[in-house]
Copies of this chain bind each other. A is one copy, B any other.
Amino acid sequence: MAKIKAAFQGERGAFSEVASRQFLGDSILPVPCESFEDLFDTVEKGKAKYGVVPIENTLVGSIHKNYDLLLERDLKVIGETYLRINHCLIGSKKISLKNVSKVYSHPVALDQCREFFKKYQTIAPISYYDTAGAVKMIAEIDSLNAAAIAGPYTAELYNLKVLKKSIEDEKTNFTRFLLLSKNDKPFNGKAKTSIVFSMKNQPGVLYKALSIFSIRDIDLTKIESRPLRKKAWQYHFYIDFQGYIKEERVKNALNHLKEISDFIKILGSYPQAER
């Protein structure tokens, strides 16, 4: 049986690959992409059936690049999942923590492990372009004094070992990922819908937009604003709400929103994940 191709940004073993497995199972064929643009291209051109992107992290906030790409490109959101971000110190099987003097990782990951570096003051944090990429590099150079910070899955993948587990400062470190595809996928059960819209630049417009959902008891789970590039100080609003695109009250709300907005795009309606 042909494996399902799943595109994600980063090297093999990235948190996004782990999220892909959470969405699609362990028998996927991972398609690593250099950038989020490449990932959108890969799925749009049919080189992978699915794409998996991080959209929001509980510590860092929204990944704005992906909000912008969801607006500009035409992929549909067909799923969401939450992944606990668990940073491990990973290095050669020949060494232990006391041999480590340098640690490579993505700056965001290094920043999320400040307590670790405060405790081990002889260990220098060094910025690298990617978490899994840092593990790959450590494996390639077979270093006896350098380690990397990444998810535990990368240790196994690159034949290294976990020198220290869960070194992140905050245990409430979760990332929400979206599953993207060229086409919608019908489903049953609890749904969430993501849309983006912009409104005429008038006082109180956002309040009016939110009232459209409130009067129909539709619960908003997220709101995010991004600048309109061609119109200074006006915004696109991204909203996630509970409800399926084919429900009567949702259809009514969206029709109502069309009346008062300049632009509206449905990003997708998909099964709501448990947090």
Chain A residues engaging chain B, CB cutoff 8 angstroms: 56-61, 64, 170, 172, 174, 203-204, 206-207, 210-211, 213-214, 217, 219-220, 223-227, 229-233, 275
> In the docked arrangement, what's the CA distance between A176 and B4, Å?
46
- List, in ascending order, chain B residues with CB within 8 A of A233's CB: 58, 174, 275
Q: How far is the CA of A225 from the CA of B229 in the complex (A)?
A: 20
Other A-B contacts than A58-B232, A232-B275, 16 sampled, CB-CB below 8 A, are: A56-B227, A58-B227, A58-B229, A58-B233, A59-B227, A61-B64, A61-B226, A170-B229, A174-B232, A203-B219, A206-B223, A207-B211, A207-B214, A207-B220, A223-B223, A233-B275
Q: List 23 A-B contacts (CB under 8 A).
A: A57-B227, A58-B227, A58-B233, A59-B227, A59-B229, A60-B227, A61-B64, A61-B227, A170-B230, A172-B230, A172-B231, A174-B232, A174-B233, A203-B217, A203-B219, A204-B220, A206-B210, A206-B223, A207-B211, A207-B220, A223-B225, A232-B275, A233-B275
Alpha-carbon separation in the docked complex, A60 to B214 (Å):
30
Residues from chain B with a CB closer than 8 A to the CB of A226 are 61
- The residue that A210 contacts in the complex, of B60, B210, B217, B230, with Cβ under 8 A, is B210
Residues of chain B contacted by A203 (CB below 8 angstroms): 217, 219-220
Query: Which B residues are in CB contact (< 8 Å) with A170?
Result: 229-230
10 smallest A-B Cβ distances: which pairs?
Answer: A203-B219, A58-B232, A207-B210, A207-B214, A172-B232, A61-B227, A58-B227, A204-B214, A174-B232, A59-B229
Give the CA-CA distance A204 to B210 in the complex, in Å. 9
**In the bound complex, CA of A219 to CA of B203 (Å):** 5
A128 to chain B, nearest CB (A): 15
| Contact status A213-B206, CB under 8 Å | no
A213 contacts which chain B residues (CB < 8 A)? 207
> In the complex, what residues of B have CB within 8 A of residue A225's CB?
223-224
A56 and B225 CA atoms in complex are apart in Å by 12
Question: What residues of chain B lie closer than 8 Å to A230, measured between beta carbons?
Answer: 170, 172
Nearest chain B CB to A223's CB is how many angstroms away? Answer: 6
A234 to B202 alpha-carbon distance, docked (Å): 28
Which residues of the other chain, B, contact A229 by a CB distance below 8 angstroms? 58-59, 170, 172
Once the chains are docked, how many angstroms separate the CA of A222 from the CA of B87?
35
Q: Which residues of B contact A57 (CB under 8 A)?
A: 227
A205's nearest neighbour on chain B, judged by CB, is B220
